[in-house]
Amino acid sequence: MKILILCTGNSCRSQMAHGFLKSFDNRLEVESAGTEASGKLNHKAVEVMKEIDIDISHHTSDSVDLYLDKEWDYVITVCGGANENCPAFLGKVKHRLHIGFDDPSFATGTPEFIQTEYYRVRDEIKEAFWKLYIEKIKPQLQ
């Protein structure tokens, strides 16, 4: 099963979701991309994922243009707040989903508060993608 996780910058939330899906089932072919890919990973996203033994440090921040000519079972957008425009994917897709999350890289305040925002968003992504995996993806793999 081929899954593309789409965001704007492809440095944080989409990378975490990518890491979680691969950790749930290595049979999944998962990629992540952004319409304005930053070209690098958010170091705090890498850090909070590593704390739960998921290494995303080898991921790359790629432009969605690299994936437009492929067919996907799922394209999932993960942009969050009203100040963000979720990108549209114009390629061949069986299922389009939106599961939005706040962007912890926009958190302001003390270093401790910012860290808790990364944990909160990471844990929300894990919960939402586990539910998606159990309810929709895994049954299709049987």
Domain of 34 in residue numbering reads as 2-141
pLDDT, one tens digit per residue, over 2-39 is 999 999 889 999 999 999 999 999 999 999 999 889 89
Give the amino acid at 48: V
12 closest CA partner among 134, 120, 131: 120
4, 5, 6, 7: the active-site residue: 7
Number of neighbours of residue 127 by Cβ within 10 angstroms = 11
Is 86 among the catalytic positions? yes
Q: Report how many domains make up the chain.
A: 1
The CATH number assigned to the domain holding 69 equals 3.40.50.2300
5, 28, 79, 132: the active-site residue: 79
pTM: 0.93
Is 12 among the catalytic positions? no
